[in-house]
Amino acid sequence: MHNRMLYPYERIECNDSLASYMSYIKIWIHAVWGTKRRMPFLKPPTLEKVCDHIRKNAEDKGIFIDSINGHDDHLHVLMLLKSDYSIAKQIQLLKGESAFWVNKNKIIDTKFEWTDKYFASSVSDDKVERVRKYIRNQQEHHRKSSFAEEYERFLSGVGYTDVEFLKDFG
């Protein structure tokens, strides 16, 4: 199987004795995850360093990140789901490696961790620009609402009613 990242979709060519076919995969994911215990470690310039590193690491893994930004204690990422990863695997690769990098390079003065939980939702093509704008404007957005309020809105917006989940997010 040949697997190669193409923007804005991924084309997979497969050859076998029964058939030759191509699949086109384009699944936009808006993912949000926070720092452990909602510690405000992502203030500038740390936020920019972490975002730049996650983008570079993703590129090295063939993951396309369209937009990435955050505020104090969490990140938003708009990305395409790579065909051979589950959402959980793709997010785990980005979160795990970035936490390792922050600690190895002593980007902050204490141990850095992401929370185990995250939010992820698919985004239709007609909503991609809206999500980009939302991610781009995180600093302004959080002058009006907290991460907890934002996260609860995301969950309820996709049909989750278990607000107890929020208690586990930090």
CATH number of the domain within which 57 lies? 3.30.70.1290
Backbone CA torsion sign across 22, 27, 28, 30: negative
Q: At what angle do helices 87-104 and 46-60 cross, to 10 degrees?
A: 130
Whole-number mean pLDDT of the chain?
84
How many domains is the chain built from? Answer: 1
19 within a domain of the structure (yes/no): no
The pLDDT value recorded for residue 74 is 93
14 within a domain of the structure (yes/no): no
Q: pTM score, two decimals?
A: 0.80
Give 11: exposed, middle or buried? Use CB within 10 Å, 0-12, 13-18, 19+: middle
Residue 79's closest CA among 38, 39, 33? 33
Q: Give residue-wise pLDDT tens across range 44-100.
A: 999 999 999 999 999 999 999 999 999 999 999 999 999 999 999 999 999 999 999
Hey, what are 153's tokens?
A: 């809105």
Which range of residues forms the domain containing residue 143? 27-167
1 within a domain of the structure (yes/no): no
Q: Is the pLDDT of residue 3 over 50?
A: no
Q: Which residue has the higher pLDDT, 21 or 141?
A: 141
The pLDDT value recorded for residue 5 is 44
What's the pLDDT band for 13 if we cut at 50, 70, 90? low
118 within a domain of the structure (yes/no): yes
Which of 10-14, 62-66, 160-164 is predicted with the least confidence, judged by mean pLDDT?
A: 10-14
The pLDDT value recorded for residue 153 is 72
DSSP character at residue 34: E
